[in-house]
Chains A and B, each alone.
Chain A
């Protein structure tokens, strides 16, 4: 018999046992469903991480910190020796700690390291408030422009030499600051209030003269006195989010020089003056991973912590991978369980069709072809299960994507579940192969049946 005829005949015999076939296929479908969604989630999560990384970071840059805590390697079981050159800070969890920051001397040292092209500080400035003439005051963060970012603009333009007291305003501020359209905001001066830190000398002087604030009102008045108001001109309005990183949607982006200036104002006279948690070190020809690695090692040898964008990416995708592995494991268990279902179903099929097998053999069908008939039947079951499972997975996934995106706060335009047709296709093919293997013993039984015995069966 020709393969095509065998495939058609095996499909037809499945049709005559619809209930049994569909139930067996459904068992496979459960596993396929889980695997389809796992693969899709894996695609989506990887794409999300990659998007964040490529949209926010230059692969030729290294994150460099002086303190290992910043890369999540804090040792909270061992007391940390106090270092008078750094202030104490509170972490998000409320733990008191000290963070060794990168100083100007460190930056000089890093800049002088062989293979380093440029060092830039990672600056974000907490403002007191942001406003404009006649509008309410809003809390806001100012961050330094990162040349690796290519913000999508709704109005205006970012000049190649983005400099001076200019700002890229995120779309989210438009309505609050009373702009009717993105175009209206261009060229408008924003007022940004920044607190100056009191230097120890100033505090001493206040203590001496007895002008230290006593009431909340006095304290607030002093804060006003201590604050400077800076004007920033809007040159562009960015579509949210400027980064795909959740939490940064409302950052006001200013040139690095401006961020430095504002940061200096807030920290002048304190222990944190011109000290940074992170700097970004760009390596010469750093897009070549081998060269980047050499520079990274040199920086580590100087006693700094350095992590490449790729490592950060791998760190994130590894976590995702482990979680995915667990779900995929359950899917595989379901498929292994369904293999026994296929074996059982195929044995029943062979038993039910003993006489038909006898007839086909009497009519001259070769044993090999009889075996193939049943293996194709098993493949059909695998195909059905795979198709049902992945179809349900894809439909459900596409339907749920918007909900998942809002629930997880992934940001507009991001999807957790990304389905790749090729992956689904390969999955189904693999399932068909597994089914054929599961149908091996029953099909061998069929091919070895003695036609005379088979024809005698009633």
Chain B
């Protein structure tokens, strides 16, 4: 459960003051899929960065599974990101001169997962994205779609609760993009992890449970699921307490 409460972000000082986000309220239920949609400059990436603890909110609070990300020390945020979250980027960010195996093992090393468990986890992650035959292949030899699948394997290898995807199909042709989208939603179902997608891709956006439309640092509309974030938050809170 991600709860974004009253989050604002201001860059610069004095005359150069620029408000990137105004009082954002949003809540994302565990296991759900959320698309944050908007033009560039709308603040959607900033929101994602703040939700993942990569950036600091100027005001407001981000609470994930009951823990306030905004109140944590940088070290704790790092550890939290290493164990609870992962990322998929538009330009993949795979290390071309390393093998698939070496690329995927990185989050396990960062999270200090014991050496015994690593190989098995890497192999199962690569299998999940259909790259089980490319284990020792250099990433540079992969196609764009395969690279993004490799990035997805890296994102799921440490069993995160939340995956943030920043324009995951932005660098892919539509048919490859389709494959990636299917893969992401499959994994969302199989692994039960929350998926937060920042995208322009309407095809991707409509497949999410919730679409959050942003403009000039504000949420202008939200569709699918509850009519407002607050309402949905209350709903989910209620149901979770019921469990």
Contacts and interface: CB of A to CB of B under 8 A. Distances in A.
A355 B87 CA distance: 13
B102 A12 contact: yes
Given A1-B109, A452-B55, A364 B81 contact: yes
A454 to B, nearest CB: 10
Interface residues of A, number: 23
B109 A355 contact: no
A364 B109 contact: no
Interface string A1-29: 11001000100100010000000000000
B53 to A, nearest CB: 9
Nearest to A456: B45
Contact of B97 (A16, A358, A361): A16
A452 B54 contact: yes
B112 interface: yes
B78 interface: yes
Interface in A362-389: 362-367, 369
Contacts of B78: 361, 364-367
Contacts of B107: 363-364
| Best-buried of A5, A361, A364, A369 by chain B (most CB within 10 Å) | A364
Dominant secondary structure of chain A at its interface with chain B: helix
Contact of B82 (A5, A358, A364): A364
Contacts of B98: 12, 16
B15 to A, nearest CB: 23
A9 B74 CA distance: 23
Contacts of B10: none
Given A364-B79, A366-B75, A366-B78, A1 B93 contact: no
Nearest to B87: A362
A451 interface: yes
Contact of B83 (A355, A356, A364, A458): A364
A374 to B, nearest CB: 16
Given A12-B98, A356-B95, A451-B54, A364 B106 contact: no
A1 B115 CA distance: 12
A362 B81 contact: yes
Contacts of A12: 98, 102
B54 A5 contact: no
Contacts of B83: 364
A365 B82 CA distance: 7
13 contacts: A2-B109, A2-B112, A16-B98, A358-B93, A359-B89, A359-B93, A361-B54, A362-B81, A363-B81, A364-B80, A364-B81, A365-B110, A367-B74
